[in-house]
Amino acid sequence: MDLGEARHAFVSGGASGIGLAIADALAARGLRVTIADLNDEALAAVLAERGAHFRGVRLDVRDRAGWQRAKAEAEAAFGPVDILVNNAGIASDGKTLADMPPESFDRVIAINLTGVFNGVSTFAAGLRDRGRGHIVNTASMSGMVADLPGLGSYSPSKFGVVAMSETLRLEMAPHGVGVSVLCPSYVATNLMANTLRAGGQLSDPSASLLAAPMKPPEVGEMVARAIEEGRFYIFTHASRREAVEERHAAIVADFERM
């Protein structure tokens, strides 16, 4: 998509980390941006720093009525949404599946997977009807390869986002709407703090990703370029390619054993 023709982006989980970096990258290309987030303080700080091309709305991505209110407010202010970024998410509690409280599993699925669907459900029909636009769904490398224990809710949620995005791409392409799925590895974000803020649990409450070498602005630029180039998969860490190749080789090998 030519971002020079886009006017308005809506970014969930947009007040910090990867979401804010994507918002900044799109704003730098001339878009007005609505950022949606649960963190009122972060929203206020972003809006104070970035001026009239940004607006904010408090949104829990599990709240379908809240999505409808957010859409109405956003489009009343900035016009129809051209770019939807479903970025909000939380981490797993780190427990094995055998020991995971069902409510912990449900929370991660509700935010990471159903929250993405709620965004699609709110905006995709309008994009399709206008015959233009782009949707970016944030998954994870844990949605491509499940190779770490303790992610028994997180990986399924992110695999689900990849599958949903693949289906959405097929459905939206005939109508001129692009779809991308972002699969980052470790990026310096406040995912852990946001998990606790959303009512989630962590096996180590002091855990942090903030020391990760890759910083959010790098990812924001990757996403903006991918939208412009019409790319579907957006990977951030070439070092994870081998794990993906090994997984797919194992799948093919078992077909050959039939």
Active-site amino acid positions: 154
CA neighbor of 10 nearest in space, from 49, 51, 61, 48: 61
The dihedral formed by the CA atoms of 171, 133, 179 and 214, expressed in degrees to the nearest 10: -170
CA neighbor of 154 nearest in space, from 115, 108, 114: 108
CA neighbor of 40 nearest in space, from 15, 10, 73, 66: 15
Identify the three-state secondary structure at position 53. Answer: helix
- Listed in sequence order, the residues at least 6 apart from 170 whose beta carbon sits closer than 8 Å to its beta carbon are none
Q: What are phi and psi of 117, to 5 degrees?
A: -60, -40
Contact in structure between 143 and 161 (CB atoms under 8 Å)? yes
Strands (E), the chain: 8-12, 32-37, 54-58, 83-86, 134-138, 178-183, 233-235
Amino acid sitting at position 168: L
- Listed in sequence order, the residues at least 6 apart from 244 whose beta carbon sits closer than 8 Å to its beta carbon are 144, 145
Strands (E), 124-230: 134-138, 178-183
Give the Cα separation of 203 and 221 in Å (integer): 32
